[in-house]
Amino acid sequence: MTTTEHSTPYNRVAGTNVERIAALSDALFAIALTLIVLDIRVPMHGGLATEHDLAKAIGGLAPRLVTYLLSFMTLGIFWVGQQTHLNHLRRADRHLTWFHLAFLATIAVMPFSTGLLAEFITFRMALLIYWVNILASGIVSFAAVRYAFRAGLVKEGAGEEAFKALEWRLMSGQMLYALGAALCLINTYWSIGFIVLVQLYFAVAPHLSRREVRSAPGA
């Protein structure tokens, strides 16, 4: 075969359907969002004789409720970001499809890192593993956004602007998450509280104007 691998007919036609990537993404995110809530179990009836006993048992679920909220927001932010990415693509290619599959692989691990943090919420190692999960998702997502832009797969005009905004949000978000992870040196609850505040900001952050996007680092 005289042609290089990247120019073979298969590589030119494989993974070009953006809708199929979006469908797989929706399904996997739905599964991950369901699995993280399964760690919150109804207290066993045995040994709970009074309202006080029940209240105490429910209070014991607090770490799992906190980590559920944390991961629900994490998954929601990443899902919205990926959908924004996909909505501004002209098409995909084989390489971009594998970037998204790698991203979904990091998302599939989220129920594990969530459960680990819920079980060992005061352990720095559990918090750091959770942060590494977020970091891996962010790095692969950023790589997908950068690749799509450089490969010319993005819609002109609004699509290019959206991708610049996505890059900036991913970079700034990961820097803030890293700061939150560093706070575990003081206390893991400080880390979790800070990360939740970061997530709330990105969930309700005001729309970036075109001027702000163009002046942002990396724009």
Kindly state whether residue 152 falls inside one of the protein's structural domains: yes
Kindly state whether residue 124 falls inside one of the protein's structural domains: yes
| Range(s) of the domain holding residue 28 | 9-215
Q: What is the pLDDT of residues 147-167, one digit of tens each?
A: 988 888 888 776 677 778 788
Kindly state whether residue 137 falls inside one of the protein's structural domains: yes
Q: What is the pLDDT of residues 163-201, one digit of tens each?
A: 787 888 888 889 999 999 999 999 999 999 999 998 888
Region 73-81 average pLDDT: 92
For the whole model, what pTM was predicted?
0.80
Kindly state whether residue 3 falls inside one of the protein's structural domains: no
Kindly state whether residue 139 falls inside one of the protein's structural domains: yes
DSSP the chain: --S-GGGSHHHHHTT--HHHHHHHHHHHHHHHHHHHHTT--PPPSTT--SHHHHHHHHHTTHHHHHHHHHHHHHHHHHHHHHHHHHHTBS---HHHHHHHHHHHHHHHTHHHHHHHHHHTTT-HHHHHHHHHHHHHHHHHHHHHHHHHHHTT-BPTTHHHHHHHHHHHHHHHHHHHHHHHHHGGGT-HHHHHHHHHHHHHHHHHPPPPPHHHHHHSTT-
Kindly state whether residue 104 falls inside one of the protein's structural domains: yes
Whether the predicted pLDDT of 104 surpasses 90: yes
Whether the predicted pLDDT of 139 surpasses 60: yes
Kindly state whether residue 162 falls inside one of the protein's structural domains: yes
Q: pLDDT value at position 3?
A: 37
**Total domain count, the chain:** 1
Kindly state whether residue 1 falls inside one of the protein's structural domains: no
Q: pLDDT value at position 215?
A: 37
